[in-house]
Chains A and B, each alone.
Chain A
Amino acid sequence: MTSSSPLSNRLVRPLKSLVLLGLGLFLYSRFNNGTLLFYVNRRFTGLTFLTAIALVTLGAVYAAVVAKRRNGHEHRMGWGTLLLVALPAILGTLIPPAPLDSGALANRNVTMTGLGPPGTTTTLTSAPAERDLLDWRQAFDDAPDATGVAEQVAL
């Protein structure tokens, strides 16, 4: 992938630090306010939290290291690359988090019901009180009729 207009060495690395910090803070904000579950399955929350911490740490250490360096070679990098890597945080901030609607879920037809090999049907095993919206959708799909989930209590 070619870069857009190249940035000077003095700009690139401080901007990289900012993007790393921004991505980490974005992930942490989604973890902290509970909207992370709109995007990923519950089993990814711990990993995402650790990633947020690691990104913030990496961004801070990276900034401290490059601040001491007066010069050095830098791979050509333009605004395009920086913006592209920052895009998840930008889009996630501009577009308010919301769960997928039923039409999108039907069209997506992917990891919403958990992780399993292709061609197999995942069986829901989580207790009702631990289910998120996607788990409940599968519970309704799995039930032969609505009475199968009628007595179950959600959080």
Chain B
Amino acid sequence: MLSALLIGRVQTFVTVFLGIFIEAVPFLLAGTLASGLIEVFVSREWVLRLFPRNPFVGALTGTLLGLIFPVCECGVVPLTRRLLRKELPLPAAIAYLLAAPVMNPIVIASTWAAFGFGRVLAMRLALTLVVAVVTGSVFALARDSDRVLLAEPAPAEVCCQANGGEEPKEPHTPLQRRRWAQAVVVAGDEFFEMGRYLVLGSLLAAGMQTLVPQSLLLDVGRGPVASVLVLLLLAFVLSVCSTVDAFVALAFGNTFSTGALLAFLVFGPMVDAKSLVMFLGVFRRRAVAYLVLLPLAIILFAALCLNLIAGW
């Protein structure tokens, strides 16, 4: 009797886990393939020429850069460091760091697939833009990227594929073919870098759905304040890739308020457990504190306003 119950629970857990994973993996794959192609075929110098020096306009431009330079939160950290070392203005770089995991075509498509074309998608983009522009503009006060970046190169784990290390060249292979091969290798490697976080996030979400009674979640998520705090914490702990986090958020859709879901969808791609580790490998501690606390404060305020004033 007990073993039958246990087997049933395991069966349910695996089915829910695979459901989340299978819904999300096409978007992860699309993201990694796009990343591989951009890594190899898009010149950074071409992009750098586009950036204005005005902090606000620079931050705004950096926020929108993800639309043509799409990377998720793991790839964006080493890419931002490289751009900063190429004299990219700080506001633009920081805005890109925070916004690119949301402001890119793949994440917009996955959010649309999960929630449809409505207020969740619109508010996710709008709130991301506000947070990235404000935080980027605040970083203009630092003036010099050396005050933000660590002097030493980042450890090996931090080096993702997005414009990361150089691959060896095979002899006697045409350049164009070599570049395509490089793109495939980058895409394959990034699929593993990000895939492990997707699997972990899916396991945790499936565990919650299988083991935690719906009534308990409702109790925790019912309050307009508690629901936001709970999903902010979950966004940090789950560390789900932004290309697929909309599907994880969808699992919470009938339990938590819209303001709380937005907090999850905006804060998670900017700051989570895995990106915090990467931040600490690239930026000085004070800069990391700003990178975490400014978005947290703005998103918390916005989500509470949506819940308490707008009644979402």
Contact = CB atoms under 8 A, between A and B. Distances in A.
Interface of A: 1-2, 16-17, 19-20, 23, 27, 30, 36, 38-40, 44, 47-48, 50-51, 54-55, 58-59, 61-62, 65-66, 68-73, 75-77, 81-82, 84-85, 87-88, 91-92, 95, 97-101, 104, 106-111, 115-119
B157 A2 contact: yes
B200 A1 contact: yes
Interface string B163-192: 001111010010000000100110111011
Contacts of B199: 84-85, 87-88
Interface string B250-283: 1111111110010000000000001000000000
A119 B192 contact: no
A27 to B, nearest CB: 7
Interface of B: 8, 10-12, 14-19, 21-23, 25-26, 29, 33, 113-116, 118-120, 156-157, 159-161, 165-168, 170, 173, 181, 184-185, 187-189, 191-193, 195-197, 199-200, 202-203, 209-210, 213-214, 247, 250-258, 261, 274
Contacts of A92: 14, 18
Contact of B254 (A17, A44, A82, A119): A119
Given A51-B29, A77-B192, A118-B120, A91 B213 contact: no
22 contacts: A1-B274, A16-B188, A20-B191, A54-B29, A58-B29, A58-B33, A68-B170, A69-B168, A69-B170, A71-B168, A75-B159, A85-B192, A85-B199, A91-B14, A95-B14, A98-B11, A104-B15, A104-B210, A111-B250, A117-B115, A117-B253, A119-B258
A95 B250 contact: no
Contacts of B10: 95
A109 B254 contact: yes
Contact of B23 (A82, A100, A111): A111
B261 A48 contact: no
Contact of A118 (B113, B189, B261): B261
Nearest to B248: A110
Contacts of A59: 188
A32 to B, nearest CB: 14
Contact of B16 (A17, A51, A106, A108): A108
Nearest to B247: A111
A139 to B, nearest CB: 18
A5 B234 CA distance: 28
B26 A48 contact: yes
Contacts of A100: 12, 15-16
B91 to A, nearest CB: 30
Contacts of A48: 22, 26
A85 B195 contact: yes
A115 B113 contact: yes
A101 B23 CA distance: 20
B15 A99 contact: yes
A107 B258 contact: no
B93 to A, nearest CB: 23
Contacts of A111: 19, 23, 247, 250-251
Given A16-B192, A77-B192, 8 more contacts: A16-B189, A39-B19, A73-B165, A82-B192, A97-B15, A100-B16, A108-B251, A118-B115
Contacts of B187: 58
A117 B120 contact: yes
Contacts of A107: 209-210, 213-214
A39 B15 contact: yes
A48 B210 CA distance: 24
Given A81-B196, A85-B196, A98-B11, A115 B16 contact: no
Nearest to B203: A87
Contacts of B26: 47-48, 50-51
A91 B18 contact: yes
Contacts of B214: 106-107, 109
A55 B25 CA distance: 10
